[in-house]
Structure 1
Amino acid sequence: MKRKLLAAGAAAVAVLLAGVMVAQAASVKFGGQMRPRYEIFEQNDFDKKTDPTHFFLTRIRLNADVNIDDKIGAFIQFQARGVYGAGTGGLIPGPAPGPRNAAVPADGLVDVGLHQAYFTVQDFFGMPADLKIGRQEVVLDGHRLFGNTGWTTGAQSADAIRLDHHHGDNMFSYIFIKAIEANGSVPFAVGGNSAGAPINLGGAGPGGLLGQGTCGRGTGFGAGDLSDNCDREDHVFWGNIKTMVPNAVISPYLVITVDNSWNGSGTSAGNPDNEMITVGGRIAGNAGGFDYRFEGYFQGGRAEGIATTMPATGKVVSAANLAAYTKGGGSGVDRRAYMIGARLGKTFKNVMWTPSVTLWYDRLSGTDSEDIQDGIWGTFDTLYDTGHKFYGYMDTYLNATGGDTSYLGLEDIAIKTSMKPAANWTVKADFHYFKTPAENIDLGRELDITFVHKYSSNLTMTAGYSNYWADPGFILVNPRVSRSAGQGGIVDGSANWGYVQLDLKF
Structure 2
Amino acid sequence: MKGFSNGLKWTTAAVLFVSMTAAPAFAAKTTPATDKKTDVPAVPRAIPDLIPYHKFDPPTSKMFDINNLNITGDIRVRPEFRNNTAFGTGGSIAVGANPSSTSQNNDFFVQQWVRLGFHYTISPDVVFFFQPQYSKNWGDASPAAGAGDPNASNGEGNDIFARQAFMLIRNFGVKNLTAKIGRQLVVWGNHRMFGHFDWNNVGWAFDGASLHYTVNPNISVETAWLRVREGECAGSGAGSCTGSAVTTGGGVPTGSGTAGDANIIFVRAPMKFAGVVLEPTWIWHDSGTGGALSGARPSNQSRHTIGGRVTTTQAISKVRVDVTGEGYYQFGEIGAPGLARLQDIEAYALHFDGGITLPVPMQPRIGGEFNIASGSSDANSCSTGTGTVANGGCNSDWRGFDQLFPTNHIHFGYMDRMAWKNMIHFAAGLQLRPTADSHLEITGHKFYLNETNDNWYQATQTVYITSPAGNQEDDLGSEIDVVYTMFFTPGNHVAWQIGGGVFFPGDFIDDNPQSGFNNVGVGNESWGYTQLWINW
TM-score, normalised relative to structure 1: 0.74
- What's the CA shift for 1:74? 1.5
Write the distance in 1 (CA, Å) between the matches of 2:409 and 2:240: 27
Deviations 1:116-154 (A, max 9, x none): 000110111135411001000100111111111111010
Name the residue aligned to 2:301: 274
Q: Where does 1:224-235 land on structure 2 (aligned, <5 Å)?
A: 226-235=256-265
Could you say which residue in structure 1 is the equivalent of 2:140? 86
Structure 1's 369 and 383: CA in aligned 2 closer, same or farther, altered over 3 A?
closer
Residue 469 of structure 1 corresponds to 504
* Pairing 1:27–2:68 present: yes
Separation (CA, whole Å) in 1 of partners of 2:311 and 2:239: 39
Closer, same or farther in 2 for the Cα pair 1:503/1:264, shift >3 Å? Answer: closer
Aligned pairs, number: 417
For the 8 Å contact 2:429–2:443, the answer to whether it is kept is yes
Give the secondary-structure state (helix, strand or coil) at the position aligned to 1:463.
strand
Which one of 413, 433, 444 corresponds to residue 420 of structure 1? 433
**Cα separation, 2, equivalents of 1:475 and 1:174:** 47
In structure 2, the residue matched to 1:296 is 327
Q: How does 1:398-437 map to 2 (within 5 A)?
A: 398=419, 402=421, 409-437=422-450
TM-superposed deviation, 1:163? 0.5
- Relative distance call for 1:191 and 1:410 in structure 2 (3 A) is farther
Alpha-carbon distance, 1:227 to partner: 4.4
* SS of residue in 2 equivalent to 1:45: helix
Correspondence 1:447 to 2:480: yes
Matches within 5 A, 1:110-129: 111-129=159-177
Amino acid at match of 1:280: G
Alignment of 1:63-462 (within 5 A): 63-89=117-143, 111-168=159-216, 169-183=218-232, 188-189=236-237, 214-215=249-250, 220-221=253-254, 226-243=256-273, 246-259=274-287, 273-287=300-314, 288=316, 289-304=320-335, 328-329=338-339, 331-349=341-359, 351-368=360-377, 374-398=395-419, 402=421, 409-439=422-452, 441-456=474-489, 457-462=492-497
1:162 Cα offset (Å): 0.5
1:365 to partner: Cα distance: 1.1
In the TM superposition, residue 471 of structure 1 has moved relative to its aligned partner by 1.5
SS in 2 for 1:391: coil
Query: In the alignment, is residue 38 of structure 1 matched against residue 68 of structure 2?
Result: no
2:143 aligned partner, one-letter code = G
* Contact persistence 1:79–1:115 (CA under 8 A): yes
Q: CA deviation at 1:170?
A: 1.4
Gaps of 5+ in 1: 1-10, 99-108, 200-213, 306-326, 403-408, 478-482
Q: Contact between 2:289 and 2:299, CA under 8 Å: does it hold in 1?
A: no
Matched to 2:365, the amino acid is S
One-letter code of the match for 2:109?
F
Distance 1:377 1:342 in 2: 24
Q: Tell me: CA distance 1:334–1:34, structure 2 relative to 1, closer, same or farther (3 Å).
A: same
One-letter identity of the residue aligned with 1:466: G
Indicate the residue corresponding to 1:498 in structure 2: 528
Q: Could you say if the C-alpha distance between residues 375 and 255 of structure 1 is closer, same or farther in structure 2, counting changes exceeding 3 Å?
A: same
Unaligned stretches of 5+ residues in structure 2: 1-53, 89-99, 382-392, 453-472
Are the aligned partners of 1:230 and 1:261 in contact in 2 as well (CA < 8 Å)? no
Structure 2 distance, partners of 1:228, 1:420, is 53
> In structure 1, what is the Cα distance between the partners aligned to 2:433 and 2:307?
36
The alpha-carbon distance between structure 1 residues 191 and 377, as it changes in their structure 2 partners (threshold 3 A), is: farther
Which TM-score applies when normalising by structure 2? Answer: 0.70
For the 8 Å contact 1:88–1:96, the answer to whether it is kept is no
Secondary structure at the counterpart of residue 508 of structure 2: helix
Residues 50-97 of structure 1, C-alpha deviation per residue, up to 9 Å, x if partnerless? 352111100111111111101100211010111111232278577897
Distance 1:97 1:382, change over 3 A: closer
Aligned-pair Cα RMSD in Å: 3.6
SS at structure 2 position matched to 1:87: coil
Distance 2:365 2:197 in 1: 25
Q: Distance in 2 between matches of 1:447 and 1:272?
A: 35
Alignment identity in percent?
21
Q: Which residue of 2 aligns with 1:207?
A: none
Instruction: Write the distance in 2 (CA, Å) between the matches of 1:154 and 1:259.
Output: 23
